[in-house]
């Protein structure tokens, strides 16, 4: 169990240091576009991203 946690932590740290961590962008984090800022998605202070419509993720349906 400790080994699994250590591997997951190392992978997360590696992705975070590479700037690959995906963070959901909400409507209050969007800034107005200027000229050709982003070809797709929206502009944020950190760069381009796709926007997430809601803060709540629906629970999976039980079968």
| 2-38 residue pLDDT tens | 899 999 998 888 876 665 556 778 778 888 888 777 7
Q: What is the pLDDT of residue 26?
A: 79
Residue 10: helix, strand or coil by DSSP?
A: helix
Specify the pTM: 0.41
Structure tokens at 42: 């929206």
Q: Residue 11 and residue 18: Cα distance in Å, rounded?
A: 11
Domain-by-domain residue ranges, the chain? 22-55
């Amino acid at each position: 169990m400790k080994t699994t946690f250590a591997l997951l932590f190392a992978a997360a740290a590696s992705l975070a240091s590479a700037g690959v961590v995906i963070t959901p962008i909400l409507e209050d984090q969007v800034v107005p576009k200027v000229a050709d800022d982003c070809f797709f998605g929206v502009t944020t202070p950190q760069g381009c991203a796709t926007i997430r419509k809601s803060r709540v993720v629906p629970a999976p349906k039980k079968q």
